[in-house]
Amino acid sequence: MPNPLGCAFFQAAGPNESRSEKVLSKYHKSVVPSTPASSHLPLVAIVGRPNVGKSTLFNRLTHSRRSIVGDEPGITRDRIYGDVEWDGRIIRLVDTGGIVTDDKEYIPSEIYAQARVGMEEADLLLMVVDARTELASPDYTLAKMLIRGGKPVFLVINKVENPSVAAGAENFRQLGLQEVYMVSSEHGLGIGDLLDAIFDRLPAPAFSPSAEDVAGPYSEPLDPNEPDLEDEVGQDVVWDEDAEDEIEEDMGPEEADEEEEDGSLDLPVDPSEFGEEADLLTEDDLDAEAENVPGRDDRPLHRTHGEFEQHETSVAIIGRPNVGKSTLLNALTGTSRAIVSPIAGTTRDAVDEVIEHEGQRLRLIDTAGIRRKGKTHLMAEKLSVVMARRHLESCDVALLMIDATEGVTANDAHIGGYAHESGRSVIIVINKWDLLTTARTDGKAPADRAIYEEQVRSALKYLSYAPLIFISAASGTNLEKLMKEIKRVAAQRRKRVTTGQMNRFLDKIDFQRAPVPMAKRIRIFYMTQAAVAPPTFVLFTDRNIQLHFAFQRFLENQIRAAFGFDGTPIWFKVRARNAEKK
């Protein structure tokens, strides 16, 4: 039977295969590579020796900061994909690691293997060289290898900022490549001519998707006013003090006015309009406000009201270095997409792969291991940590990976705090569990799962809402269960509870049981869900004070008991009845 994933390792289980191979084979029968619109596009690969400016060119062409750039050679290791739009057409671009063909060390050889995959996939190759360096033997070797491949090859001479450099760059024509383009990726010089040549050489696809169809979660245009990565923070869902203004900003004033006329905006009623009788609103009044939405299924839905719709679920695999993040990505996708090695810090750029599991599309993102600032020394390591946090803050579900053989460390708790504070849904994944049970070699008794889970919960008390799963990424144990849990948590994250349901729920709560000092007690007139992903609730109260932590925890536990919201944090916003709008 042919392998649908194109990976020889994951063939159908045979009689002589090990148990782990059979487990992986069974799981991968339910997983297929996703075929988004971008799969129909021509692919261009950027190749070259280390530190010639390949990642800078990639970022320039894709108008992004997707690939980490630095002066240190060998920063890029895995393949990084992006989209290029030019003159109404779109192509795919892949950035590869620096090629050193005669280096037998593990990491360089794996980088070369990843680059070979990118070259084999590509329809056109861009060989990038550094104009400020002398023509060397590795350049001749690489050029000959590319020419023998039989694919179109453009020679891109990078870092040509002035005429004197351009004159010296003429020596690179000795490589024998016919089409030569001099550019400065950093300053954008010559990029237009290069793009014209690329699109002229590649045939127009029969299916031409729009930029919106192929755009991934990290393909935002490069904004010159955007803050540096070190200063960047996640974009949280925050309830605006004036909900009507927020909806108008999303929908446009004319569309918002039109929807408001037919009563289709799911907005809370200001209790100040009802005076002291605010708590006497009937269930019918509240349900009409939240549930009477004509044509709800036909209109676009927004993060601030209704169920939040999206075409794919973004899942970031986060954790300390060397806990098995790349191994998990490869196991879940059935590929060798990410380089795996016992060397801590192997992954630098975030690596993403899109798959479909039981009809649902998932984007899995392998991030670099997050270390404390004092533990990162090279600039590439520091940037990889910043990028990892950036991808964490833009995902839907975070898989917090913990090495079962080491237990929960202070850094694990620190990373979990990032996910919790940014409003991401979290699943705690205990990896390498087999090393404490079936594959244990130290002669000790197998670890007790219940006791281990209790210890993890004690160390990560603030993630009490997060499901916990024991897996072995290397052997494939519990991968199917993990995938189902990802989809369940993602659905919980986007769950919507109507205002009527919330207030019927409030009527049943005995707030006298909440362990809150009398000075911190508040009276809740009613409560409504203002946003999803993460679920955000607005409490209309008699006092404009911050919720006491004990009261907030009590209310959150009651909401979870009634409505679920497993795996996702719950946010609260207080609006006092007589508070003046700012």
What is the CATH T-level fold of the domain 243-306+495-576, as seen in this structure?
A: GMP Synthetase; Chain A, domain 3 (3.30.300)
38-214 domain in CATH 3.40.50.300?
yes
Beta bridge partners of 45: 94, 125
Structure tokens at 316: 């970031």
Whole-angstrom distance, CA of residue 126 vs CA of residue 180: 10
- 13 φ/ψ angles, rounded to the nearest 5 degrees: -65, 130
Helix (H, G, I), strand (E, B) or coil at 165: helix
Q: 223, exposed or middle or buried, with CB in 10 Å at 0-12, 13-18, 19+? A: exposed
Whole-angstrom distance, CA of residue 407 vs CA of residue 182: 53
pLDDT at 244: 35
**If we measure between CA atoms, which residue out of 338, 343, 355 comes closest to residue 79?**
338
| Helix (H) or strand (E) run with residue 85 in it | strand 80-86
Q: Alpha helices, DSSP H only, in 325-370? A: 325-333
pLDDT at 27: 60
Neighbours of 209 (CB within 10 A): 17
Q: By the 8 A CB rule, do 127 and 147 touch?
A: no
pLDDT at 31: 57
Neighbours of 423 (CB within 10 A): 22
pLDDT at 323: 93
**If we measure between CA atoms, which residue out of 156, 69, 142, 148 comes closest to residue 103?**
142
pLDDT at 106: 55
Output the CA torsion sign for 116, 122, 123, 125.
negative
Domains 243-306+495-576 and 313-493 share a fold: no
Whole-angstrom distance, CA of residue 567 vs CA of residue 466: 4
**If we measure between CA atoms, which residue out of 558, 551, 552 comes closest to residue 509?**
558
Q: 508, exposed or middle or buried, with CB in 10 Å at 0-12, 13-18, 19+? A: exposed
Residue entry with tokens 């790349």 = 326
Whole-angstrom distance, CA of residue 552 vs CA of residue 571: 9
pLDDT at 513: 85
**If we measure between CA atoms, which residue out of 483, 465, 470 comes closest to residue 426?**
465
> Which pLDDT tens digit goes with each residue over 179-208?
999 999 999 999 999 999 999 999 876 655
**If we measure between CA atoms, which residue out of 116, 21, 42, 97 comes closest to residue 476?**
21
**If we measure between CA atoms, which residue out of 122, 133, 123 comes closest to residue 157?**
133
Helix (H, G, I), strand (E, B) or coil at 150: coil
| Helix (H) or strand (E) run with residue 15 in it | none
Whole-angstrom distance, CA of residue 448 vs CA of residue 437: 9
Whole-angstrom distance, CA of residue 403 vs CA of residue 323: 5
Q: Going along 146-226, which residue ranges are E strands?
A: 153-158, 179-182
Q: By the 8 A CB rule, do 94 and 122 touch?
A: yes
Whole-angstrom distance, CA of residue 137 vs CA of residue 40: 37
What is the CATH T-level fold of the domain 313-493, as seen in this structure?
A: Rossmann fold (3.40.50)
**If we measure between CA atoms, which residue out of 151, 129, 38 comes closest to residue 90?**
38
- 319 φ/ψ angles, rounded to the nearest 5 degrees: 155, 180
**What's the gap between Cα 569 and its chain centre?**
18
Q: Is the omega angle on the peptide bond into residue 108 within 30 degrees of 0, that is, cis?
A: no
Whole-angstrom distance, CA of residue 371 vs CA of residue 394: 19
Residues of the chain with pLDDT under 50: 1-16, 35-37, 212, 215-308, 582
pLDDT at 520: 79
pLDDT at 359: 85
CA dihedral angle for residue 27, residue 565, residue 307, residue 36, rounded to 10 degrees = -20
Q: Write the CA distances from 182 to 16, 131, 364, integer angstroms.
A: 56, 9, 36
pLDDT at 90: 93
**If we measure between CA atoms, which residue out of 388, 436, 395, 434 comes closest to residue 414?**
388
- pTM exceeds cut of 0.75: no
pLDDT at 380: 60
Q: By the 8 A CB rule, do 369 and 321 touch?
A: yes
> Which pLDDT tens digit goes with each residue over 447-496?
999 999 999 999 999 999 999 999 999 999 999 999 999 999 999 999 99
Q: By the 8 A CB rule, do 389 and 418 touch?
A: yes
Q: By the 8 A CB rule, do 497 and 568 touch?
A: no
| Boundaries of every domain in the chain | 38-214, 243-306+495-576, 313-493
pLDDT at 269: 39
Structure tokens at 164: 């004197």
Whole-angstrom distance, CA of residue 17 vs CA of residue 407: 31
pLDDT at 425: 97
